[in-house]
Structure 1
């Protein structure tokens, strides 16, 4: 996949990261000097290194999930011969963006039911985080991020649908890397600035604004999937389809 085709995935991660402020923001803001009250041993020196290590682990888990999703879809050559599956997957990916936009706006919480599907896996993974305490080194933060990357999250699942129909394990990993990098500015900022920025990002006006943008991406993609609009500049705003 090209950088241009991955740019919309990056934008989804960027605007959707207001949701990350609520899901992951609590633990990330604990790495900040301004967020001292936290029920684990977190030292105040080297907050930037700890935040970067945590996010590196988190994005690595996203990439692994994307590779698995892309591989399970059958690979680029198999998908290239099944046009209906490609079209259906592209439509589903954009419908997930519509659901995500409504979720961010708190207009429809249907995506919460999708999140619940990951609870079984998360209940098995979460206890492993206790073995990393105290969080007193970059290596432990990397491990924590790798575990936290499997936290049930409707936004991540919406990106995984795109990864699944991207055509291959490599393309699926690339999709989730672009998505993870989109979420990075928000979580890095929260990790360094603390709970005050997290609270600001959770304001209703901010969530509605971000939700409208993501909803717009999804609606454009749905219109394109249905043949209502065509490529050109829309390639910068619509999710990529499978590659041959």
Structure 2
């Protein structure tokens, strides 16, 4: 069963709103990757655009793989237990993570930092591989770096991975994370070009609060739907 268009759109919007976090979390990485690029012939002809696209395309591919894994695990959990009970538990968990993510984006609660620190155990093993690829001289190098970048510990990404547990299967989970990844793309592409201005805008409390409240609202909607308090199913 495929995901509803509304669910994919919601995942895209979460990625777009999460840009306020991406600027702080990945701004340094984007700067380091672009400054380390030594492929002058390509840069002079097309600018940094091919490298930014390679980095980000590969990053989104890693997100999609993570979504496929999570969606498959969620499907197994539902298959091996009572379907309705397991699905409700996963939906409640996803809703709680969306609310936590909203608080995190708004800067009102930093609990997801602990999850990022836990993910740092995996990142410590991956990061040395990326360092070997610097400085970037070719597009394939940029692509491989992007694949590694996709596994950077991030509360925003982890929250949507938890959401993809409820997607209904590996393909659906992959689609959910793909939509989310595409939502993060505008911010991270612009970051490579207008990093300073974008960072200044994203640091404004009103911008962070608006993004956080929007994500929290969707998380509460997911919770109400999972608990049968809301008359309609979550998008």
- State TM-score, norm by structure 1: 0.86
* RMSD across aligned positions (CA): 2.1
Match in the other structure for 1:20: 22
Q: Mean alpha-carbon deviation: is it higher for 58-67 or for 40-49? A: 40-49
CA distance in 2, matches of 1:186, 1:194: 9
Match in the other structure for 1:35: none
2:101 pairs with 1:122: no
Structure 1 residues 111, 98: CA separation in 2 closer, same or farther (over 3 Å shift)? same
Q: Counterpart of 1:198 in 2: which secondary structure?
A: helix
Show the 5 A alignment for 1:214-229: 214-229=215-230
2:13 to 11, 14, 21: 11
CA distance in 2, matches of 1:219, 1:78: 26
Match in the other structure for 2:150: 149
Q: Is the 8 A contact 1:66 1:175 kept in 2?
A: yes
Structure 1 residues 229, 74: CA separation in 2 closer, same or farther (over 3 Å shift)? closer
Structure 1 residues 173, 79: CA separation in 2 closer, same or farther (over 3 Å shift)? farther
Q: Is the 8 A contact 2:88 2:227 kept in 1?
A: no
Match in the other structure for 2:100: 99
CA distance in 2, matches of 1:58, 1:224: 31
Show the 5 A alignment for 1:75-86: 75=76, 78=79, 82-86=83-87
CA distance in 2, matches of 1:76, 1:178: 23
CA distance in 2, matches of 1:83, 1:101: 27
CA displacement, residues 181-208 of structure 1 (integer Å, 9 cap, x when unaligned): 1111111111222332223222322111
CA distance in 1, matches of 2:106, 2:159: 16
Q: Counterpart of 1:108 in 2: which secondary structure?
A: coil
Number of residue pairs aligned between Structure 1 and Structure 2: 228
Structure 1 residues 188, 41: CA separation in 2 closer, same or farther (over 3 Å shift)? closer
CA distance in 2, matches of 1:169, 1:221: 20
Match in the other structure for 2:164: 163
Q: Is the 8 A contact 1:75 1:169 kept in 2?
A: no
Structure 2: gaps of 5 or more residues: none
Q: Is the 8 A contact 2:78 2:86 kept in 1?
A: no
Q: Is the 8 A contact 1:54 1:142 kept in 2?
A: yes
Match in the other structure for 1:50: 51
- State TM-score, norm by structure 2: 0.89
CA distance in 1, matches of 2:63, 2:114: 20
Q: Is the 8 A contact 2:71 2:170 kept in 1?
A: yes
Q: Counterpart of 1:174 in 2: which secondary structure?
A: helix
Structure 1: gaps of 5 or more residues: 33-37
Q: Is the 8 A contact 1:101 1:215 kept in 2?
A: yes
Match in the other structure for 1:137: 138
Q: Mean alpha-carbon deviation: is it higher for 80-89 or for 176-185? A: 80-89
Structure 1 residues 51, 80: CA separation in 2 closer, same or farther (over 3 Å shift)? farther
Q: Is the 8 A contact 2:21 2:105 kept in 1?
A: yes
